[in-house]
Amino acid sequence: MNDSLSLRLKTLIIATLKLDGVSPGDIPDDESLIGSSRFGLDSLDALELVLALEKEFGVKIGSSEESRRALGSVNTLAAYLRACPADVSAPPSHARTG
């Protein structure tokens, strides 16, 4: 899934988790984010990422179970965001004016 949402998500993951030396192309769309030996998130990483996603996309990820499902992989995260009522096709929050 090489689309703009996946790229935005990968860029946000890299920036939020401070993954030095990792580029968006290094993160497979279907690789597990939680529990992966390469990109395994701990609970603090997951919380930081959820907060960044809520700020960036204007969504609310309610429960820890919901966040675990959403953070399964880049693909599941993109599907979750597309299913949310917020407009994920809008420009990033830091790029908006007014």
Q: Domain containing 75 — which CATH number?
A: 1.10.1200.10
Question: In this structure, is residue 98 part of a structural domain?
Answer: no
Question: In this structure, is residue 82 part of a structural domain?
Answer: yes
- Residue ranges making up the domain that contains 45: 4-89
Radius of gyration of the chain (CA): 13
Specify the pLDDT at position 53.
94
pTM beyond 0.85:
no
Burial class for 73, CB neighbours closer than 10 Å (0-12, 13-18, 19+) = buried
Q: Report the C-alpha gap between 39 and 1 in whole angstroms.
A: 18
Under a CB-based contact definition with an 8 Å cutoff, are residues 15 and 23 in contact? no
Question: In this structure, is residue 64 part of a structural domain?
Answer: yes
Positions in the chain short of pLDDT 70: 1-2, 39-40, 86-98
Question: In this structure, is residue 97 part of a structural domain?
Answer: no
Specify the pLDDT at position 35.
76
Q: Report the C-alpha gap between 97 and 93 in whole angstroms.
A: 9
Specify the pLDDT at position 42.
83
Specify the pLDDT at position 13.
94
Question: In this structure, is residue 48 part of a structural domain?
Answer: yes
Specify the pLDDT at position 1.
45
Q: Report the C-alpha gap between 35 and 56 in whole angstroms.
A: 24
Specify the pLDDT at position 62.
81
If one counts the domains in the chain, the total is: 1
